[in-house]
C-alpha cells in the first residue's frame, strides 16, 4: 500500500512537471515613448514613461513608419539616428530635457530598444522635423547709419 501511494505521488509530480513545461508566459512591456516637435531647429522632444527604472535604453529614430513590434528584436538600419538614455528612478525620461537633433528634415518615429536588443516601445505617431539651412550675414555700409545684409 505504501509503495502504491509513493508511486501515485511520483505520477502526480511527473504530470505537474510536464504541464508546467508546456505553459508559456507572455511578457508584456508597459513602457511607452512619444515625441513632439521642438522649438529648436532640427530637433524633436521625446518622453518615456513606464520603462524599467535606472536602466539604459537606446532610442532609434526611423524616417518612416516602423515595421517592428514590441517584443521583437531590433535590427539597426544604416545611418539610423540614435540616442542613448538612462531612465530615472520612476522609469521615465523627462520630456523637457530630452531632445534629439537631426541633420535632415522628415517625419521621425522613435523606437525604444532595451539592453538585449528587443523593442520595448514604439512611437507610431512620429514627429516632423524641419532642418533650416537659411543664414544671414551683415557688413558695414558706406552709407551713414546703415548696414548691408
Residues 11/19, Cβ–Cβ less than 8 Å: no
State mean pLDDT over 132-143. 73
Cell of 47: 518622453
Cell of 127: 514627429
Q: What is the pLDDT of residues 112-121, one digit of tens each?
A: 999 999 999 9
Q: How confident is the model at residue 14 (pLDDT cuts 50, 70, 90)?
A: low
Q: Is the dihedral of CA 104, 105, 106, 112 positive or negative?
A: positive
Residues 51/31, Cβ–Cβ less than 8 Å: yes
Mean pLDDT over the full length of the chain:
78
Amino acid at each position: 500500500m505504501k509503495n502504491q501511494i509513493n508511486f501515485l505521488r511520483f505520477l502526480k509530480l511527473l504530470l505537474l512537471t510536464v504541464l508546467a513545461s508546456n505553459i508559456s508566459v507572455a511578457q508584456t512591456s508597459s513602457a511607452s515613448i512619444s515625441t513632439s516637435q521642438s522649438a529648436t531647429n532640427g530637433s524633436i522632444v521625446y518622453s518615456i514613461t513606464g520603462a524599467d527604472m535606472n536602466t539604459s535604453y537606446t532610442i532609434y529614430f526611423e524616417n518612416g513608419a516602423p515595421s517592428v513590434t514590441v517584443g521583437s528584436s531590433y535590427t539597426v538600419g544604416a545611418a539610423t539616428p540614435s540616442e542613448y538614455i538612462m531612465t530615472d528612478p520612476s522609469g521615465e525620461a523627462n520630456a523637457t530635457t530630452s531632445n534629439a537633433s537631426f541633420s535632415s528634415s522628415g517625419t521621425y518615429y522613435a523606437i525604444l530598444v532595451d539592453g538585449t536588443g528587443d523593442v520595448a516601445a514604439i512611437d507610431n505617431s512620429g514627429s516632423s522635423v524641419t532642418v533650416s539651412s537659411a543664414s544671414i550675414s551683415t557688413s558695414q555700409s558706406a552709407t551713414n547709419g546703415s548696414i548691408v545684409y
